[in-house]
Amino acid sequence: MGQGAVTPAGVGIDALLHGHPVETMTSLVSRPDLPWPVFKVKLNDPAFERWQKEPRLRRASPLSYFLVEAAHQALIGLDAIELAQTGLVIAFSTGCLTYSRRFFEDIVTQGHRAASPVLFPETVYNSPVSHVAAALHLEGSAYALVGDETAWIAALKTAWLWLEQERVKQVLVLGGEEFDSASLDAYRNARWLARPQRKLGFIPSEGAAGLLVRRARPGDSKIISQMDDGFIYRSKTEAMAAGQRCLQHFDSHLPCHGSAQYNWLAGIERKLTQDHRPGPAIGNLAYLGEAATASAAWNTLRALASLDQHHPRLLVPIWGSTHQIGALQIENQKPSTGS
């Protein structure tokens, strides 16, 4: 499996596993005098220089840069023929916030006639998908999915379906999120944010991660062996029940790679897994904040890196923050077995 990551702790898998992000204080749109801690990707990282020279990406949003760099890392080693046979699925939650806010600000402050038509194409979810496919010469099917963190599982399921139908040889699955100060107001109203000087609640974040998948072959070292989602909830009480139903679909002895740390779902994860599914310690992994589908992708890559002789199989819960819960089962595959 090819892998790639862009995080506030740095660019690349090494940064994902060993880096530590630095907080940036950002003010609410509604309260410029009230700053909150956030994690942001450093767009001046040398890894982005090549994409800033790409004509197609000249007006692209930060999200497109995150995605194309993560995609590039995951595709290293593929030749032109293989790239042409690669599909692309990207999971989003909020999309290109920077351009969306600027476009609608123009409408509100200056009227709809003043809204720039140059900005509008970057506000739609398909725009980053198109940028990634074009910049990296991917000619297979391309698709965008929108949801909470569990859209990452839907994206992996879509990739599996394409591979079963032999539409493509391999599929690049990406999750990405872009931070904009406008989202702080929504998070604050939902009481999800970490309070200044007091680490209660989560820290908003941004970035991307990607996983290149294909049908399992004999000798593959790591595989995704089970995926389940669709466990819907409408309240915290229902979320606990949905999480319980979800985990019952997996081996009861399967250790859990925890992922919910500071969001409101962390308590549910502890109650459902801490005593019954002890997994690898994640205390040495830096908290990267909450970046929706990007976080789901980061957690999956971190879990894959945790597979070893002590934990040859792991449960990876994907705690959707707004409407559903899902999970993945990953494992080291014995060299003598096939798919």
Q: What are phi and psi of 319, to 5 degrees?
A: -85, 100
Distances (CA, A) of 22 to 25, 38, 39, 92: 10, 9, 7, 24
pLDDT band at 339 (very low <50, low <70, confident <90, very high): very low
Last residue of a domain, one of 151, 184, 213: 213
Q: Are residues 43 and 121 in the same domain?
A: yes
CATH code, domain carrying 112: 3.40.47.10
Last residue of a domain, one of 188, 213, 238: 213
Q: Are residues 188 and 246 in the same domain?
A: no
pLDDT band at 336 (very low <50, low <70, confident <90, very high): very low
Q: Which residues of 39-66 are buried (b: 16+ CB within 10 A; e: fewer)?
A: bbbeeeeebbeebeeeeebeebbbbbbb
Q: Which residue has the higher pLDDT, 281 or 229?
A: 229
Q: Are residues 227 and 209 in the same domain?
A: no
5 near 70, Cβ under 8 Å? yes
326 near 310, Cβ under 8 Å? no
Angle between helices 293-306 and 151-164 (to 10 degrees): 70
Look at residue 83 in the predicted model and tell me its pLDDT: 96
Residue 338, in any domain of the structure: no
Q: What is the pLDDT of residues 120-179, one digit of tens each?
A: 667 778 889 999 999 999 999 999 999 999 999 999 999 999 999 999 999 999 999 999
Task: Please list the residues that pair with 209 across neighbouring strands.
Answer: 5, 175
Look at residue 47 in the predicted model and tell me its pLDDT: 96
Three-state DSSP class for residue 214: coil
Residue 337, in any domain of the structure: no
Give the structural domain span for 256: 222-332
36 near 25, Cβ under 8 Å? yes
Last residue of a domain, one of 213, 240, 268: 213
Look at residue 200 in the predicted model and tell me its pLDDT: 62
Q: Are residues 187 and 226 in the same domain?
A: no
Q: What percent of the chain has pLDDT over 70?
A: 91
Distances (CA, A) of 67 to 120, 130, 288, 320: 19, 11, 17, 21
Residue 27 φ/ψ region, left for φ over 0, alpha for ψ in the -120 to 50 degree band, beta for the rest: beta
What pTM value is reported for the model? 0.92
Question: Is 80 exceeded by the pLDDT of residue 286?
Answer: yes
116 near 103, Cβ under 8 Å? yes
Residue 339, in any domain of the structure: no
Question: Is 50 exceeded by the pLDDT of residue 338?
Answer: no
Q: What is the pLDDT of residues 200-210, one digit of tens each?
A: 688 999 999 99
Mean per-residue pLDDT, 282-304: 93
Three-state DSSP class for residue 257: coil
Question: Is 60 exceeded by the pLDDT of residue 198?
Answer: no
Mean pLDDT, the chain, rounded, equals 89
Task: Please list the residues that pair with 177 across neighbouring strands.
Answer: 207
Q: Which residue has the higher pLDDT, 216 or 43?
A: 43
Domains identified in the chain, total number = 2
E strands, the chain, in order: 2-7, 10-11, 23-27, 35-39, 86-92, 142-146, 170-177, 207-213, 222-232, 313-319, 324-332
